Amino acid sequence: MNSTCADCPVLFPQFMYDSILKVATKDKNFSFKTRNTPFPITNAVRKRKVEGITMIVIFMTAIAYSMLVTSIVGLAVSERVDGHKHMQLISGLKMSAYWVGNFLVDLIKMEVVVLATCTTFWVCEMDYSTAWITFTVFPLAIIPSTYVLSFLFESV
């Protein structure tokens, strides 16, 4: 008998009664059947399971997107430290072209991750009906704010 089974505490007395009756009746073939019908899963348990999965999804996407934003800030700060922007401006590049180019590259980089995230939600049949709107608009808000906040860091 597997004593780690959740049904064991209920079934063990039945097996004991079976053994006692075999001895009492002196019939080695004596046995009776025990049937176990578990209760259906309640709505509270089902809701708790869905909430747990949702929290894991939120945690994992938060980590992934924070790493992506960190890479954008890191590139903006390292460009200022290394002087790449200054060299391009001396070569005749317009400031607006520089920022638009950076914004478009960062937007494409983030939208690829957004597309992968929304596709994963769809493939795994996670019913986050309006999450794709939030994920699609997120890069339009976070990229300009990372550019502005990158000026808080020291430049050489």
Statement: residue 156 has pLDDT above 50: no
pLDDT (0 to 100) of residue 107: 92
Residue 104 scores a pLDDT above 90 = yes
Q: What is the mean pLDDT of residues 66-77?
A: 83
**Which DSSP letter does residue 150 get?**
G
Write the pLDDT tens digit of every residue in 114-135.
998 888 888 887 777 788 888 8
This prediction has a pTM of 0.60
Single-letter code of the amino acid located at 46: R
Q: How many other CB atoms are found less than 10 A from the CB of residue 100?
A: 11
Query: In the chain, what are the domain boundaries?
Result: 1-38, 43-152
Share of the chain above pLDDT 70, in %: 92
